[in-house]
């Protein structure tokens, strides 16, 4: 058996998330169908992590075992020829059988996009959360310093507990302005359910002046979801990059 690693991008708007679900359109479902058409066998795909309904990816990583003799370049071209328009394979490679897209990930980086115009752009409705109050990204960055390092992030987890532990390590968190668009990027060794979206919603309250900068540290220490800000909507969230090398310090930009 050969182990094939794919890096894929998708627009999550019309998907019910990554994971295959009966009678629902999912990214895993359409990808598995395309691989089966090419190889004649239904694969068992594993991704670096599950994305929720409406969430996008620019660098999701997937692996699957196959008896097919197709070269990686054939997988790249043939899958893109049959996949729907909202999913694309960016890279294909054969990797050692021991490689596992989920278990071997050392960190993942997400970007949350905010449309910060006074009036929402019709071209950003699928890809950014509209916040009409001008965001102070410097204040957001000062507040976000409290999140750096290893902490219990249960204040930023929806419906705690979802995992055995809510302790995670954030390597980098930063807000940047690009004209009328604000990015909130977070890189960590793992993420809890809705963690990035809650961080974005919490920092957004600081950015609009509705909460002081020191409040974010108080939220973290409270270990209580009700103390944090709102869960930002899913359509602004992108899985940007998955790192399989050693854990980063302060992560370099992918």
Domains and CATH numbers, the chain: 2-95 (3.30.70.580), 107-243 (3.30.70.660)
180 classed as catalytic:
no
**Catalytic residue selected from 52, 86, 104, 180:** 52
Dihedral, CA atoms, 191, 127, 87, 234, nearest 10 degrees? 40
Q: In this predicted model, what pLDDT tens digit does every residue of 133-182 receive, in sequence order? A: 999 999 999 999 999 999 999 999 997 666 689 999 999 999 999 999 99
pLDDT tens profile 8-44: 999 999 999 999 999 999 999 999 999 999 999 999 9
Question: Is there a contact between 47 and 7 (Cβ–Cβ < 8 Å)?
Answer: no
* Contact (Cβ atoms closer than 8 angstroms) between residue 203 and residue 143: yes
Question: From residue 57, how far is each of 4, 54, 78 by CA, in Å?
Answer: 19, 10, 21
């Amino acid at each position: 058996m050969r182990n094939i690693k794919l890096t894929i991008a998708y627009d999550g708007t019309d998907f019910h998330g990554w994971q295959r679900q009966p009678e629902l359109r999912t990214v895993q479902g359409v990808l598995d169908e395309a691989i089966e058409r090419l190889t004649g066998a239904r694969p068992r795909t594993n991704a670096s992590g599950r994305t929720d309904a409406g969430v996008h990816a620019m660098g999701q990583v997937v692996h699957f075992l196959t008896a097919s003799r197709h070269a990686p370049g054939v997988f790249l071209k043939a899958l893109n020829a049959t996949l729907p328009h909202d999913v694309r394979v960016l890279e294909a490679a054969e990797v050692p059988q021991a490689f596992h897209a989920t278990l071997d990930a050392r960190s993942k980086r997400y970007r949350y996009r905010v449309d910060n115009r006074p009036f929402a752009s019709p071209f950003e409705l699928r890809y950014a959360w509209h916040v009409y109050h001008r965001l102070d990204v410097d204040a957001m960055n000062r507040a976000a310093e409290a999140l750096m390092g290893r902490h219990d992030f249960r204040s930023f987890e929806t419906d705690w507990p979802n995992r055995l532990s809510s302790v995670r390590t954030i390597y980098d968190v930063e807000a940047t302005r690009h004209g009328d668009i604000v990015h909130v990027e977070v890189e960590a060794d793992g993420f809890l359910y809705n963690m990035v979206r809650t961080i974005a919603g919490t920092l957004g309250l600081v950015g609009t002046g509705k909460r002081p900068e020191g409040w974010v540290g108080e939220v973290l220490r409270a270990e209580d979801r009700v103390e944090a800000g709102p869960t930002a909507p899913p359509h602004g969230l992108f899985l940007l990059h998955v790192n399989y090398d050693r854990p980063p310090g302060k992560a370099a930009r992918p």
